[in-house]
Structure 1
């Protein structure tokens, strides 16, 4: 596993889509506790306006990953882009996140992890828990893990927030053994 995580705020020119610093600070603390590694937030936002599709109202996650890769961190570190923008890849309607397999970069979106997206009142503890699980999931991909058949494992595939909520915020024994 990595020694250190850097969370990068992603948004559009003008600030749309930037996640709140309070959310990122809580996510960084949760990741540090879950993984036992240093995690900090880079306060300089990365402008992803060029990767935003106005017609879809979504940002292209693979293009964002390419931008993050251009800022490749030192060995032992991982760069995780976090945004409030909705993300997509061309073959899917949306993605909660995307990562480069066996690389050092990933991106996650809070957009569909928020209860407000589903017409419910805001619930920051649920948002942080979901962001933690999705970030751990994408980080697992950066460490070479593929989707796990154990539905409780954070590496199991999830296409809804209900499935994310069912997962544990941890790797199963098999997946943990592959990244340690």
Structure 2
């Protein structure tokens, strides 16, 4: 179980796992820093993501990857988000775009199912980048103790499809923004 974070982190670590899209890294790093007003440190994950591979499902267990990400940070007040291109799941769901520890230190987001090609549609790199941005901000929001929001435009609105991701903005609604400022 993750320890409760008692103060704002001094750093958010952006850990690259399994060759993530290089064009996305700088943009995502910049957005995290802008939204949370916390410096971002880029690093490569030191673990092999295959430790989380489930051969029966042909997917990666995101909860296993979260546990590995926690080992990557030395300062227990810091937060870390893994960025990957592998297909993630949790046992109770067919897939997830990402996962996070509520009020914890670790999150992960994948662009595997965010790409149009996954659905047999023409490639749209800008759209994928904005979907990834929303998912990263969403998952990081959970680490700051934000739960899913009923406001369909809020980045904290739950998303089970790319269509739902496309409907929401990459920003917190006023209610969620106030909650995050109180943390």
Q: Same fold (TM over 0.5)?
A: yes
More strand by share: 1
Q: Distance in 1 between matches of 2:161 and 2:46?
A: 28
Which stretch shows the higher mean deviation, 154-163 or 41-50?
Answer: 41-50
Match of 1:172 in 2: 173
Query: TM-score, with normalisation over the residues of structure 1?
Result: 0.89
What is the DSSP-based 3-state SS (H/G/I as helix, E as strand, rest coil) of the residue aligned with 1:40?
Answer: strand
**Structure 2: 5+ residue stretches without partners:** 1-7
Alpha-carbon shift at residue 41 of structure 1 (Å): 2.1
TM-score, normalised by the number of residues in structure 2: 0.87
Query: CA offsets per residue over residues 41-89 of structure 1, 9 Å max, x none?
Result: 2145531111111221110001111111222352553210011100000
1:142 and 2:143 correspond = yes
1:8 aligns with 2:9: no
Partner of 1:34: 35
Distance 2:167 2:28 in 1: 19
Q: Deviations over 1:92-127 (max 9, x none)?
A: 000000001111110111000111111122222111
List per-residue Cα deviations over 1:140-175 (Å, max 9, x = no partner): 110111111111111111100010011111111111
Contact 2:15–2:82 (CA<8 Å) still a contact in 1? yes
How far has the Cα of 1:2 moved from its partner? 4.4
Structure 1 residue runs without a partner (length 5+): 12-17
Q: Is the 8 A contact 2:153 2:167 kept in 1?
A: yes
Query: Contact 1:99–1:142 at 8 Å: present in 2 too?
Result: yes
CA distance in structure 1 between the partners assigned to 2:65 and 2:137 by the alignment = 18
Residue 21 of structure 1 aligns with which residue?
22
Residue 55 of structure 1 pairs with residue 62 of structure 2? no
For residues 57 and 162 of structure 1, what CA distance do their matches in structure 2 show? 24
Report the CA distance shift for 1:5/1:118 in structure 2 as closer, same or farther (over 3 A): same
Partner Cα separation in structure 2 for residue 135 and residue 105 of structure 1: 12
Residues paired across the two proteins, number? 174
